[in-house]
Amino acid sequence: MVLLSQAGDRLACAGHATRPAALSDLDFPFTVPADGEPVEILPGLFWLRLPLPFALDHVNVWLLDDGAGWTVIDTGYGDERTRAIWDRVLAGWPLRRLLVTHFHPDHAGLAGWLAAKVETPLAMARTEWLTARWLAQDTSDQLLDSADAHYATAGLSEELRRRLRARGNAYRRGVALPPASFARLAAGDDVTIGGTGWRVIVGEGHAPEQVTLWSAERNLLIAADQLLPRITPVVGVWPMQPEADPLGDFQRSLEGYAGLPADALVLPSHDRPYRGLHLRRRQLVDHHAERLDRVIGLCRAAPTTAEVMDGLFPASLDLHQRGFALAETLAHLNRLRAERRVERWREAGVWRWQAV
């Protein structure tokens, strides 16, 4: 499975995009640079957009002046096109430090490859490094068996399950093996980059321990996928932890940004830098509250998880998007179960859900 956040236009049809009217309330001060061309948007801070081979066609990475060299935040996807861009960009930019926000392939894809060019260890949260290091190497049948068992209990058709299994471990396709050692970043840590202080704020829900960086000095938040301006990050339950409550984690994590100034500039990993952090937080909270209500409405006639998914998402989704849709559906069902608003039971090996 590829664990990426998804594209705006695709998500709009999947019902994930927040109301377009809200867009005008966010302020986007910069124009989008060409892919592969670093642009200095603030003193000593460059925005580099890297292409992605998905519906969501780009990821933003940040280069920060770190005195004798540059600190790079995130790496892009692990393909030849991205390596070629880095080879060209880094020719003029001595790399000093590498920091990766979370394990997803569009962020950590080249962590192993870029880390080999730096003298200090890759900086990452422990759970993110462990997950990347594990998933990039797991070729076991057990991984696919357990995912298939998960999809069976969700009530997915045999045909869909066969196609999902045939993808194998898709994570490995986009991720060079991450390094065998790392430097741990944890919530509340203070990090100095080029004389500027940054505080680590961990955002859960989209990824287990996603690192975001706040600089009070510069009134800047490097937000990774936690606070994207126009699309919502995938908050999903994955086969490796079917009982997880990532939406609860996500909602709680958003409160970790409540004390930041309203006019802070947010640097997201997709789309454009923006101002309007608290408005965006509220939109994300409201978006999921609406989705929870919709899911409750779909749980009147004891549906399977797959049936709830079909009620939430259009049938036209491709296989890749369908994996996300199921994960999102379960995230909402598990949250409702934690709130005791739905109950579930097993019938012929398949979970059924009922509004309480």
Under the rule (CB under 5 A), what is the footprint of Zn ion? 5, 104, 225
Quick one: 65 or 225, whose CB is closer to Zn ion? 225
What does the DSSP 8-state code read for residue 304?
B
Q: At what angle do helices 246-254 and 319-338 cross, to 10 degrees?
A: 80
**Least CB distance to Zn ion at residue 137 (A):** 20
**Least CB distance to Zn ion at residue 335 (A):** 19
Quick one: 225 or 307, whose CB is closer to Zn ion? 225
Quick one: 64 or 223, whose CB is closer to Zn ion? 223
Asked if 67 and 56 count as a contact pair (C-beta separation under 8 A), the reply is no
* The dihedral sign for the CA sequence 95, 83, 79, 8: positive
Quick one: 59 or 114, whose CB is closer to Zn ion? 59
**Least CB distance to Zn ion at residue 106 (A):** 6
Q: At what angle do helices 277-298 and 305-312 cross, to 10 degrees?
A: 120
164 φ, ψ (degrees, to nearest 5): -65, -40
Nearest to 100 by CA among 210, 13, 221, 181: 210
CA dist 97 and 122 (Å) reads 7
Quick one: 211 or 299, whose CB is closer to Zn ion? 211
Number of residue whose CB is nearest Zn ion:
104
Please report, for residues 29, 150, 329, 339, the alpha-carbon distance to residue 333 in angstroms, rounded to integers and kept in the order given: 38, 15, 6, 10
Helix (H, G, I), strand (E, B), or coil: what is residue 59?
A: strand
The total of other beta-carbon atoms located within 10 Å of residue 84's CB is 11
**Least CB distance to Zn ion at residue 101 (A):** 8
The total of other beta-carbon atoms located within 10 Å of residue 92's CB is 8
Quick one: 10 or 104, whose CB is closer to Zn ion? 104
Quick one: 128 or 225, whose CB is closer to Zn ion? 225
**Least CB distance to Zn ion at residue 307 (A):** 28
**Least CB distance to Zn ion at residue 59 (A):** 9
Quick one: 59 or 333, whose CB is closer to Zn ion? 59
What does the DSSP 8-state code read for residue 27?
B
**Least CB distance to Zn ion at residue 105 (A):** 9
Please report, for residues 54, 76, 82, 93, 111, the alpha-carbon distance to residue 179 in angstroms, rounded to integers and kept in the order given: 25, 16, 18, 22, 7
16 φ, ψ (degrees, to nearest 5): -95, -20
CA dist 94 and 341 (Å) reads 54
CA dist 215 and 191 (Å) reads 10
**Least CB distance to Zn ion at residue 18 (A):** 18
